[in-house]
Each structure stands twice: as C-alpha cells, then as structure tokens.
Copies of this chain bind each other. A is one copy, B any other.
Amino acid sequence: MRTSYFRYFPDKREVLFAGSERMPPALAEAVLAADPALTPLAAALDALARVGTQLVEQVADIAERQAVIDASPELQERERTKAAAITAAIRDGLKQRQVTADTAELVAQLATVAFQNAFRHWIATAGQADFRRCLHMVTDDLRAALAGT
C-alpha cells in the first residue's frame, strides 16, 4: 500500500502536502465571503467547512497519509507550519471583517483546533462522514469542554 503513495513523487514530502499551499488563500477568501451576520467563529467555521469539504474530496488515501505524518517528527513539523498558515489566513480574513486583532487571533487559533480535530474524526469514519458535520461535532465538544471552567 504505502509504496503506491510515493511512486510518482521523488520527494516524498511533496506528495503528502500537494495542494496544501492553495488552502490558506482559499480560506481567507471564504472567511471574507461568509454571511456578514455570522459571528467571527461561525464565519471561520463556515469557511473551513467549505474549503475542507473540497479538500477531503480531492485527497486520496487520507488515512494512510496521516499515518505517515504521525510517524515522522519532520513531517509533523511541516504539518504544524501548514496549520500556522491556516491560522494566519483565517486571522487575516477576520481582520478584513473588522474583527479586532486580539479576537481575530484567538478565534483563528480556535477554528484551527476545530479543523484539525474534525479532520481526525473524518478520517476515523473512513471518509464516510460529512465534513461540515464533523466540524459541528467538534465545536459542540469544545463548548462542552469549556463548561465548568
């Protein structure tokens, strides 16, 4: 199985992150395009649901990809760099919606946590779940976690 992943890519890192550079600008645009009535986090989650749904439709062997990354400190570092770019894009989109800098940063980080965990949930369902539904579930879990603190 694993060899199929790398057959056409001399640099193994590249296939794992192919297309990932398109995600931040798409997200910034989607945050800006979200319904103006939405709260900052709702706008960020709507953008992640739109862009994330496209992403999960395009990426093949996604569970295997995650297993390869999880086993490599070097690839995990790259995954963190990617997550930071996602956070920055959401933050910049929110600022263009006139959200204050502090709130934009906090909400962008929170949305990125929701995205990463929704992605894990989606992988755990072998890609059968609706990605937006996974995001909503994680958002409910985050709200539950904050109760009683």
Interface hit among A7-15, A18-26, A58-66, A77-85: A77-85
Q: What does DSSP make chain A's interface, helix, strand, loop or mixed?
A: helix
Q: Is A103 an interface residue (CB 8 A)?
A: yes
Q: Which A1-50 residues have a C-beta within 8 angstroms of B?
A: 39-42, 45
Give the residue of B77, B116, B145 whose beta carbon is less than 8 angstroms from that of A103. B145
Closest to A136 in B: B149
In the bound complex, CA of A21 to CA of B142 (Å): 28
Within 8 A of B (CB), among A81-109: 81, 84, 102-103, 105-107, 109
Cβ contacts under 8 Å, A76 to chain B: 84
Inter-chain contact A81/B84, CB cutoff 8 Å: no
Determine whether A146 belongs to the interface, using a CB cutoff of 8 Å to chain B: yes
Tell me the minimal C-beta distance from A30 to chain B in angstroms: 16
A102 to B77, CA, bound (A): 21
Whether A55 sits at the interface, judged by CB under 8 Å, is no
Answer yes or no: A113 CB below 8 A from chain B CBs. yes
Say yes or no: A148 contacts B42, CB within 8 Å: yes
* Complex: A107 Cα to B117 Cα, angstroms: 11
Interface set of A (CB-CB < 8 Å, partner B) = 39-42, 45, 76-77, 80-81, 84, 102-103, 105-107, 109-110, 113, 116-117, 120, 138-139, 141-143, 145-149
